[in-house]
A and B are shown apart, each in its own frame.
Chain A
């Protein structure tokens, strides 16, 4: 009885505390909205306020003045937040992503892991966003002011962010091997420009699918030049989360895709051809389809309305819901190292069933931002989920991060930090990349976390000479592993020389992985 009353009082208390917090939040939301509306004159903000008002308080027929609308929204905020706090104490202040992760973990009986240290968080975020480990100075700065929001803001605006992400996306889009007909650098520069300016990813993809022109002068044309022999499969894998490989020769054994679906899709490219007008430069373009040529059909069965088949396909793709899901899955994969559905090529409504709520939430976020993904990146990097330690009990549960091998670019740029601007002695970036991806060269599209450094690449790196350093054991650990050594490691380090210590840390697994 007493305990019951106690519980009641507790609820009352948390409800009132929640309401108070909700008030504060409502005021903040109001100020933020008004500021946004005036500062950017953004119609979208007003529109979304308006639509929220309509959804919550009835039809559009009765016009309400903007202050009334805001007032109503405040009430809604206060109430919803208060109730939220009262009934689900564990999720105070969590983003929608975190709430989903917590809910799904409870459902699946997964033990969520604790947050990593600030040192490790800095290493994670730096590797993910600018493709290298933090310098000792950056570590010191973050240790004295561990403001994550500020850190992420600095990292996404760093020119190295666009550089690193454009390299990674080039690999994802056209694989690792070099080909005569493809100008990698041209594609990479185009992507870097789009990423640096946070341009909408749907228009990026639309251009990749429909571009014509010379690869050397027009970046996006290289995507089609690379995949012209069989464009349907990579387009479906990369942008729709659908695997059509099997359907090329026979009906898919387990999925609904038939050979006919594949052939219908393939006709979108029937008029596309490449040529080599000047030796060494390749051109992609379309002829006009014949009148009696059977028109293509999209996976949904839709037909193009005009004869610009590739452009029509691009529109079908980027306007579809599977596209949003697939981009969501790819971004999640980028940060967490795995993804609901098993593979980033396979994130669709069918495969992500267990965690579809998360994928849908991320996809909605992307759509709301018109596929400008920077705000989503911020949300992911600032989420509790991203900060969690790698789980040893449930290493394959896709909403807790897993270990990721450093890519060749990450390894190269990180070694620049370790060796103070010297990089791997006697290995250039392109050499390191081509050595490390040797086992993955044949793949039409790249997967950064599936690359395994082959034996001989590791062998040749292992044979380098280390320079002796004058730094202390602690400094070497900070520089290479971005953390203090443990007592056991200090003891171990006492028995070996400075060169040996450096060598052991640089080639150890802790340095070679994101964790």
Chain B
């Protein structure tokens, strides 16, 4: 089955004139029985969300702060009071509260939690979305879309798995409209550069030609209609708030339904060195409502089983509250939340001590988290990829699947 899909894919991709570097050369068999997800939504919390004000509150301790907590639908478990609706649907979530990393700088940590590897300039790694797209992409739509954020690149998988970065969906819609209107001009480009292209059809030239083709393909695809959240019935739109994040989550849902393999939605502003409590509460409000609504929608449309939701950020924040009522970078403890039909809902991995200063149970590494995510998406963590520069490499940095996450 896998081989057939892959052959089908390479047929499509090859036909478009791409070259695929990231040929998968081995596929260890998955041992799980449950069906893997084939779509992924990444909720990227940019700046590093505080675990105390989200999924690991420490009520009435010196480190806990003023936010307070609410009990969840799972007995004995509490979320921060910022997330009342998510607490109600906690049975859908798998919360990992014991992720430990060493990267305390934004750029490095952000790279680590997009790719699963610490940055090494000479060996760039593909971002999670590119790996997923490489495994599942089979439409003429762009394989992965980043809403409001920045892509980390497909590295050895090849440029056809580069993320389409959309900052403002409305602007993109207008752009696509303009391009569609002038589509006859696009075909002229090819006619005039045909002789040049055939003479110099080498890598960079062939790549640019393929990009131009890809643009034509996208214009033929329903991308513009999918991005347009106004096409949703009013009753649905009203359930999502009007803020940027909620609107992007709604657009993401439409893109996933349309066949995009992976969508990342970024929520900015988590770098709360000052005024942590008020800012976290402000950020949690849209997060809480958009995320819960999205889960309801996915369940209603039957997409729940084949979609994985990943909530992750740069790192956690310090137990100590600094003089400006802020929390600083704290890579030693970080929260990650997974959700979707392929995940064991209502499970909680790892535990921190009473003051949230140390992990006391089941510490996991970033590589473990990535191994687990890839396993849930149907990619064995030891899947081997051929790189452009020769040596084959594995999908994760020696990560092991965290037990208890799979449904």
Q: Which residues of A contact B (CB under 8 A)?
A: 229, 233-234, 237, 243, 245-246, 248, 345, 390, 392, 395, 402-405, 438-439, 441-445, 449, 452-456, 458-460, 462-463, 486, 488-489, 492, 496, 500-501, 503-505, 507-510, 512-513, 515
B178 to chain A: which residues have CB within 8 Å? 463
Closest 9 CB pairs of A and B: A508-B193, A245-B122, A504-B188, A463-B178, A510-B196, A504-B192, A509-B193, A444-B121, A245-B120
> Is the C-beta of B150 less than 8 angstroms from some C-beta in chain A?
yes
Please tell me if the beta carbons of A463 and B179 are within 8 angstroms of each other in the complex. yes
The chain A residue with its CB closest to the CB of B119 is A442
CB distance from B397 to the nearest CB of A (A): 11
Please tell me if the beta carbons of A455 and B142 are within 8 angstroms of each other in the complex. yes
Given known pairs A459-B175, A463-B182, the reply for A248 and B189 (CB within 8 Å) is: no
Please tell me if the beta carbons of B179 and A445 are within 8 angstroms of each other in the complex. no
Most buried by B among A233, A392, A456, A486: A456
> Is the C-beta of B324 less than 8 angstroms from some C-beta in chain A?
no
A454 to chain B: which residues have CB within 8 Å? 162, 165
Please tell me if the beta carbons of A452 and B197 are within 8 angstroms of each other in the complex. no
B204 to chain A: which residues have CB within 8 Å? 403-405, 449, 452, 513
Given known pairs A444-B121, A462-B215, the reply for A500 and B185 (CB within 8 Å) is: yes
CB distance from A346 to the nearest CB of B (A): 9
Contact of A459 among B119, B120, B215 (CB under 8 A): B215
A245 to chain B: which residues have CB within 8 Å? 120-123
Please tell me if the beta carbons of A509 and B208 are within 8 angstroms of each other in the complex. yes
Please tell me if the beta carbons of B111 and A442 are within 8 angstroms of each other in the complex. yes
The chain B residue with its CB closest to the CB of A243 is B122
> Is the C-beta of B205 less than 8 angstroms from some C-beta in chain A?
yes
The chain A residue with its CB closest to the CB of B187 is A504
Bound CA–CA A65/B78 (angstroms): 97
Please tell me if the beta carbons of B192 and A505 are within 8 angstroms of each other in the complex. yes
A459 to chain B: which residues have CB within 8 Å? 175, 179, 215, 218
> Is the C-beta of B164 less than 8 angstroms from some C-beta in chain A?
yes
Please tell me if the beta carbons of B152 and A455 are within 8 angstroms of each other in the complex. no
Please tell me if the beta carbons of B200 and A508 are within 8 angstroms of each other in the complex. no
Bound CA–CA A395/B206 (angstroms): 13
Please tell me if the beta carbons of B162 and A439 are within 8 angstroms of each other in the complex. yes
> Is the C-beta of B59 less than 8 angstroms from some C-beta in chain A?
no
User: Number of residues in B with C-beta < 8 Å to the partner?
Assistant: 49
The chain A residue with its CB closest to the CB of B181 is A463
17 contacts between A and B (CB under 8 A): A245-B120, A246-B122, A392-B199, A392-B200, A404-B204, A405-B208, A452-B204, A456-B172, A459-B175, A459-B215, A463-B175, A463-B178, A505-B192, A507-B212, A509-B208, A513-B205, A513-B208
Please tell me if the beta carbons of A233 and B121 are within 8 angstroms of each other in the complex. yes
The chain A residue with its CB closest to the CB of B185 is A503
B108 to chain A: which residues have CB within 8 Å? 229
Bound CA–CA A246/B120 (angstroms): 8
CB distance from B215 to the nearest CB of A (A): 6
The chain B residue with its CB closest to the CB of A464 is B178
Please tell me if the beta carbons of B164 and A455 are within 8 angstroms of each other in the complex. yes
The chain B residue with its CB closest to the CB of A342 is B389
> Is the C-beta of B400 less than 8 angstroms from some C-beta in chain A?
no
> Is the C-beta of B107 less than 8 angstroms from some C-beta in chain A?
yes
Most buried by B among A443, A445, A501, A504: A504
Bound CA–CA A463/B227 (angstroms): 18
B200 to chain A: which residues have CB within 8 Å? 390, 392, 403, 509, 513, 515
A-contact 0/1 string along B109-131, CB 8 Å cutoff: 00100000001111110000000
